A and B are shown apart, each in its own frame.
Chain A
Amino acid sequence: MVKVKEAAPSGLEHENVEDLKHYYYQMLLIRRFEERTSEMYVKAKIGGYCHLNLGEEATIVGLMAALKPEDYIFTNYREHGYIIARGVPPGPVMAELFGKETGVARGRGGSMHLFSREHNFMGGYAIVGGQVPLAVGAAYALRYQGKPGVVVAQMGDGTTNIGAFYESLNLAKLWRCPVLFFIVNNGYGMGTSVEMGSSEPDLWKKGASFRIHGERIDGTDVLAVRDAVRRLRERAESEGEPAILDVVSFRFRGHSVIDADRYRDPEAVRAGREHHDPVRNFAALLHDHEIVDDAWLKVTAERVEREVQEAIDFANASPDPRFEDLYENMYATPVPNTPGREDALQAVRINRGEW
């Protein structure tokens, strides 16, 4: 058995060992959460569309490791891992996928609309590009109120072809908003490759005509992602300089759980999983540097397995939202001439054939 060292060895000498181990734990947690989510979807515990972060664990954990509590995050609809890495326990996340009252959006949002105000996780958004102007607006508010922090606008590669993206770039630079445009470039927008959809496939260059700095980053390297975000975050916060991060990652499966992934070369997908598995590669790195040993990896795997199972158990045991609360939160404050609990119950009884 390999002896576990007290300090990080050569190549990782500036790293805090506990941080490295935590990154691995978080990546494995996301990996197993998503694998079990896929299983729950097949068992019809989860409905609707469901997009997994498998293969993108290093991208997510690297981003979250660099952010501070005062920062805000807006994402697209492939966001289970983001909210977990931001610190929300897996239980309420799984409960949301199950449509339960204990879910992070009280069962009203589902897989594509996770949210936690407490963690400044400002939502998963399911209309491509919709979250990008919102994130710029949040950054605008920070600047207006003179508060510290930055805002992350996470998106997929396909989003860089939509108009809202370009309007957002222009406004962010024009108004000096502390926002990071964080592009998860897994090579495909559903089944459309970056080359098919973008006349400029080097996505980091797309800020050039807005005078916005861009970089390409290896999204399978958790430390590379963390360091790039840290550097550009600092600049965004202190100078009001937005930036584009073109984070190249590998999507392990199809676009969503129900996508058979017929448009990608099976051999390339197999090779991608073989060579670009961020979780396995990071485990090997830590092991090779004698930061962790087989026993630690085994204990961590068991811990993750248990935590994900507990999340599933929590979701299963949680109550469904109540029919009478259907109209709750339609508006922020009471409004005349809007339906209430009695109206909800009456309509629900009829719609359920209980008259």
Chain B
Amino acid sequence: MPIITYRQALNDTLGEELARDPNVLLMGEEIGVFQGSYRITEGLLQEFGPKRVVDTPIAEEGFVGVAIGAAMLGLRPVVEIMTINFILVAIDQVVNHASKIHYMFGGQVRVPLVIRTPSGGTGQLAATHSQSFENWFAYCPGLKVVAPATPYDAKGLLRAAVRDDDPVIFIESLALYDTKGDVPDDDDYVVPIGVAEVKRRGEDVTVVAYSRMTAVALQVAQRLENEGISVEVVDLRSLRPLDRPTIIESVKKTGRAVVIAEDWYSYGVTAEIAATIQEQAFDYLDAPVLRVAGLEVPLPYAKELSAVSKPNANSLIYAIHQVLAGSSRGALWAK
């Protein structure tokens, strides 16, 4: 099986979907002439032309709304928002419109729309360019939110998203774009939306993660194996719908759980997962569920300060040791 980057998986999939369905079009800032801020759309304008690969002005509310309206008439727009931070100026269109149109109008019209955007913070991008807002969208019934961690899942979920008849928020990560993995090149597989995957089998503790934190969790699991700790990694892949049965099944087996996500600790994704585990697997728990998440500051610019404000392998290993010891002292992020 060929080994390609996460970026290449996305680029290949967009090209294949453009070729497959004439109603698919890409819209976004700098995706055409500039070749994409992060080169996800590189070469696609040359291959498919300006009707299918549409450079937009800097007007997120406007062009996201245009994409929703076009989807209501049967187009299948795939919108790139340069980073998730910029989606805030379009949030009315996503939350008040895209998520509600199908249900609120009695099922008469569909909104087959994908919004792709990288979330999270790396590379000293500072407070306004390093945020994680996928939980805001996962909160909204009517949206689907996916966040693949591997090139294989990136391809399979992007295919599923483009072919889906509902609005899908497709979460990427700058730090994952250059990561590599196996992706079959002769197979039209899709990864179903709303289904998690156990990425690594283990016995002692379950780590629940998604996107870049899944990559961190897999590295940590590998390291801890040498210490004799067997870690099971559940990769959510979808935040809405949330595959609660897969999480619960894993926790019932291991009896211990750590949840890790890049967003801020309070009211974040980790809170939802931890609450689900205590509701549905309370009798199986041998220790409190611990959460590892972002420290609650506008992410500072300074290199070291920035690095220590985000969860990483160190914080996850610490939390795993705490939960194995049956301690709740891991809950350092709560104050």
Interface, chain A (partner B; CB < 8 A) = 72, 74, 103-109, 113, 115-117, 122-123, 125, 127, 129-130, 132-142, 144-145, 163-164, 167-168, 170-171, 174, 328-333, 335-338
Binds A, one of B61-69, B261-269, B305-313: B61-69
How far, in whole Å, are A141 and B68 apart by their CA atoms in the complex? 10
Which residues of B88-107 have CB atoms within 8 Å of chain A's CB atoms? 92-93, 96-97, 101-107
Question: Among B62, B75, B108, B112, which residue has its beta carbon within 8 angstroms of that of A168?
Answer: B62
Chain B neighbourhood of A137, CB < 8 A: 65-73
Contact B166 A332 (CB under 8 A): yes
Closest 3 CB pairs of A and B: A137-B69, A133-B65, A167-B62
How far, in whole Å, are A253 and B65 apart by their CA atoms in the complex? 32
Residues A138 and B105 in contact in the complex (CB < 8 Å), given A167-B59, A337-B242: no
Chain A neighbourhood of B92, CB < 8 A: 127, 129-130, 164
Contact B59 A329 (CB under 8 A): no
- Per-residue A-contact encoding for B12-30, CB less than 8 Å = 1, 0 else: 0000000000000100000
Contact A108 B104 (CB under 8 A): yes
In the complex, whether B164 has a CB less than 8 A from a CB of chain A is: yes
B93 CB to nearest A CB, Å: 6
Which residues of B45-71 have CB atoms within 8 Å of chain A's CB atoms? 51, 56-57, 59, 61-71
Chain B neighbourhood of A139, CB < 8 A: 69
In the complex, whether B116 has a CB less than 8 A from a CB of chain A is: no
Contact A328 B107 (CB under 8 A): yes
B153 CB to nearest A CB, Å: 16
Interface residues on B, range: 35 or more
Contact B59 A171 (CB under 8 A): yes
Contact A130 B93 (CB under 8 A): yes
**Nearest-neighbor residue (CB-CB) of B89 within chain A:** A163
Binds A, one of B173-181, B190-198, B209-217, B324-332: B190-198
26 pairs, A vs B, C-beta closer than 8 Å: A104-B106, A123-B101, A130-B96, A132-B65, A133-B61, A133-B63, A133-B64, A134-B72, A137-B65, A137-B69, A137-B70, A138-B72, A139-B69, A140-B69, A140-B70, A140-B75, A141-B72, A142-B73, A145-B73, A145-B75, A167-B61, A328-B107, A332-B102, A336-B241, A337-B195, A337-B243
How far, in whole Å, are A117 and B102 apart by their CA atoms in the complex? 11
How far, in whole Å, are A144 and B245 apart by their CA atoms in the complex? 43
Contact B65 A144 (CB under 8 A): no
B110 CB to nearest A CB, Å: 5
In the complex, whether B144 has a CB less than 8 A from a CB of chain A is: yes
Contact A335 B57 (CB under 8 A): no
In the complex, whether B74 has a CB less than 8 A from a CB of chain A is: yes
In the complex, whether B294 has a CB less than 8 A from a CB of chain A is: no
In the complex, whether B244 has a CB less than 8 A from a CB of chain A is: yes
Residues A136 and B66 in contact in the complex (CB < 8 Å), given A113-B104, A127-B96: yes
In the complex, whether B287 has a CB less than 8 A from a CB of chain A is: no
Contact B103 A329 (CB under 8 A): yes
Contact A171 B102 (CB under 8 A): no
Contact B69 A135 (CB under 8 A): yes
**Nearest-neighbor residue (CB-CB) of A165 within chain B:** B62
Contact A72 B62 (CB under 8 A): no
Contact A72 B73 (CB under 8 A): yes
